[in-house]
Amino acid sequence: MSRKTLTILAIGGHVGDMELTAGGVLASHSLKGDRIVTLALTAGERGVPAGQNMGEYREQKVREAKVFADMLGGESIVFDIPDGELSDSEDMRYRVCDVIRRVKPDIIITHFKNSMHKDHRTTHLIVNDARFFAGLASMQRHEPAHFASRLYYAENWEDAVGYTPYVYIDFDQDAYDLWVKAVSQHWFVTGSKSFPYLEYYKHLARVRGIEARKTYAETFTIPEESLRIIKSEL
């Protein structure tokens, strides 16, 4: 029996958020023939390198998002919203709803609810409501209703408070190599002096892989209302 092709939509507050935290799993699904789409609600341009124009860096970040998606055979979307100024508004929920309806994902990945970063916390709220809106047939938009049945929150060092790994998704060496090569196209991943992003997430993938008795893995949690196991017997 042939495997159903999946569409995965990974939604981050900034370009690079989902590429780092869920990139190994995205690369793995890409190699299996699944469709990968990334959506960044801002470009993340306030992390501009010293001496570089912020507007130019924003354009660079948009290109980096596209390069990553292209390497996974997917698509990147970046909203034109200034980094740090993402609003917790109905308009943003409708915009993300429209993307969900157009992309028609089986799976959505986004930020966990707690974060030191305002844009991450706001993205979590927006995505949860946008997913609900997207599935409402009575809500009239340009695209017909679509409900993404699975929602995951990625593990992120900036979103760590209260986060407990619940789902471990393992991936092989080919997916790991593709992910590392693709995510290294982002300047901040390899060039930032504030945090060793690539080193941290490479080691984390190995640690989570060991915990899962595999080679590499990334972890996720799910909505609290879904944290249940229903059985008829022990």
Quick: pLDDT tens for 135-166: 999 999 999 999 999 999 999 999 999 999 99
> Which structural domains are found in the chain, ordered by start?
7-226 (3.40.50.10320)
How confident is the model over 101-130, as a mean pLDDT?
Answer: 97
The residue that leads in pLDDT, 219 or 51, is: 219
- The backbone torsions φ and ψ at residue 124, rounded to the nearest 5 degrees and listed phi first, read -55, -50
In sequence order, which residues have a C-beta less than 8 Å from that of residue 165 and are 6 or more positions away?
A: 155, 208, 211, 219, 220, 221
Which amino acid makes up residue 215?
Answer: T
Which pLDDT score is estimated for 229? 87
Rounded distance between C-alpha atoms, residue 89 and residue 49, angstroms: 30
Q: Which residue, 158, 157, 171, is CA-closest to 218? A: 171
Indicate yes or no: pTM above 0.85: yes
What local confidence, expressed as pLDDT, does residue 178 receive?
Answer: 98
Mean pLDDT confidence for 39-55 = 93
Q: What is the mean pLDDT of the chain?
A: 96
Confidence of residue 50 (pLDDT cuts 50, 70, 90): confident
Confidence of residue 123 (pLDDT cuts 50, 70, 90): very high
Residue type, position 138, single letter: S
pLDDT grade for 2, boundaries at 50, 70 and 90: confident
Q: Is 107 helix (H, G, I), strand (E, B) or coil?
A: strand
> Does the pLDDT value for residue 53 go beyond 90?
yes
Angle among Cα 132, 136, 141 to the nearest 5 degrees reads 105
Q: What is the pLDDT of residue 49?
A: 87
Neighbours of 73 (CB within 10 A): 12
CB 130 within 8 A of CB 103: no
The two counts, helices (H) then strands (E), for the chain are: 8, 7
pLDDT > 80? residue 1: no
H-helix or E-strand containing 185? none
Residue 89 has pLDDT above 80, yes or no: yes
